[in-house]
Structure 1
């Protein structure tokens, strides 16, 4: 018998998390709906808010990368601040409620964003890949591959 009583917000989130819906003006724009079904494979009760945020960010990053050409890579802008843009080179989470992004800013400085899931608000951007790199870095693929192993 489970003695835990969910708040209305927790109950609503548990119901809503596996669902996803998108509509775009361009019918060729990739949507994450089909990929989002993979998130429901693990029971909701076993995922922390940090893990939920991490897994959904992976889907959004992968989906965004599908729209990029060979000359661009995914980066993220920080919404609500003037911290700039981070070229995403890694991502992680720290239960129960922290998500972190690793990379470099547009000047090449090493950068790490540590974000509480309640404050998570990022904008994915396309940045030209560095000239010294032959192929663009597709971090979304590596993140999803790592998630599949877990």
Structure 2
């Protein structure tokens, strides 16, 4: 036990982490386009109803990623689908077809590469970097797939 009664295994947060964890969830975005939706900064009830301190880091990252993916998809045309690019290495691009989390600290993306090969990215929240990209939709499909809208719908259930 440490002085002050703390256990050695108690998590020590940096000042920035403590501040971020104590803050009320907020979203603020400004874009150059005049047609930015008025609700761009509003958080869905499904995200606001559970306090941040009751969410695991994985769940909190998952919920915020859903909002970013949905907003990104809203700006795509009918010939594009959302994908994510990887930094470093030769992993390439993953067309996002699913997403999930595993408490307390893992987020995972499911999808395929541009050649159609199945892919899954398993990412620890402390290493999370996601670059959203627009790829031409898969040629077999008449309509582009929109995972962001399905993910938001799942939040509400």
Identify the TM-score tier after normalising by the shorter chain. 0.7 to 0.9
Question: Structure 2: which 5+ runs fail to align?
Answer: 1-5
Asked if 1:88 is matched to 2:96, the reply is: yes
Aligned pair count reads 147
Q: How do 1:95-134 and structure 2 match up within 5 A?
A: 95-134=103-142
**Alignment check: 8 A CA contact 1:29 1:67 kept:** no
**CA distance in structure 2 between the aligned counterparts of 1:76 and 1:17, rounded to whole angstroms:** 28
* Deviations, residues 82-137 of structure 1 (Å, cap 9, x unaligned): 31100000000000100000000111100000000011101101111111101110
State the superposition RMSD in angstroms. 2.1
Q: Quote how far apart the aligned CAs of 1:80 are.
A: 3.6
TM-score (norm. length: structure 1): 0.88
Match of 1:59 in 2: 67
**CA distance in structure 2 between the aligned counterparts of 1:64 and 1:37, rounded to whole angstroms:** 20
TM-score (norm. length: structure 2): 0.84
Question: Structure 1: which 5+ runs fail to align?
Answer: none
Structure 1 or 2, whichever has the larger Rg, is 2
